Amino acid sequence: MTVSTRSAIRAVLIDLDGTLLDTVPDLARAADAMLEAMGRAALGQERVRAFVGKGIPNLVRRCLAEGGGEPDASARAAALEAFRRHYAAVNGSRTTVYPGVIEGLKALRARGLPLGCVTNKAEEFARPLLALKGLAGYFRALVCGDTLPQAKPDPAPLLHLCRALGAQPANTVHIGDSINDVQAARAAGIRVLCVPYGYNEGRDVRSLDCDAIVAGLDEAADFIARVEDRTGPAFSEPS
């Protein structure tokens, strides 16, 4: 990967679960309630944490498969309905905003950068969650796991959000926490920063092909500012 000339950054896309918000406490509560209603043992937060990132249907499938083999279609459908019901009841109740998120969002907005949130979470949960946690007003657009036929790591959600924000992929930065974010951004030709505290299905974030690892959203905003102000390193050329 070659170092690029500095291109102006016109928009920033940000992942939700594991980047903006620690949603595992509520996801695990819903998953365990679903499992217990089916006569299965609860898994707990740390096990469920490894299943987060590819959307609720994948999370439910992996919870069912844990210790019980691959579930059939009817079992998955019943479990998914139960999970959605339980998650709707607890969504946001124990979810917390990660340190540095508000500061980072304010700093990015102060630079005049339009922000978009891109998540694999269904809109029925993502939109009210952002509002409940006081984050909705920072984002000009939201793309959820059910907005398009494709979800991350497919690049389509990121490209859709670029169009909504009026930005070209080459002038956009994505901030996320997982391989799904990196693969989607690379496929879209978008630069990508990763935070180390989120959900990456047990993988070390340092193994990912991101442009940089930043401690939080506040540090991401500072990294972008230094690129724009020519006081820091340029991003690598997106492939």
- From the list 174, 164, 162, the residue with the least C-alpha distance to 238 is 174
Domain positions in the chain are: 11-22+95-228, 24-90
pLDDT number for residue 237? 55
pLDDT band at residue 236, thresholds of 50, 70 and 90? low
Domains 11-22+95-228 and 24-90 share a fold: no
- Residue 7 banded pLDDT, cuts 50, 70, 90: low
- Residue 71, CA distances (Å) to 43, 50, 105 in order: 16, 19, 41
Q: Select from 1.10.4100, 1.10.150, 1.10.3470, 3.40.50 the CATH code of 24-90.
A: 1.10.150
- Beta-bridge mates of residue 3: 236
Domain 11-22+95-228 bears CATH identifier 3.40.50.11900: no
3 state SS of 202 = coil
3-class secondary-structure state, position 180: helix
Length of the chain: 239
Residue 6 banded pLDDT, cuts 50, 70, 90: very low
Which of the residues are catalytic? Answer: 15
Distance from C-alpha of 151 to C-alpha of 121, rounded to nearest angstrom: 9
Residue holding tokens 């020519």? 230
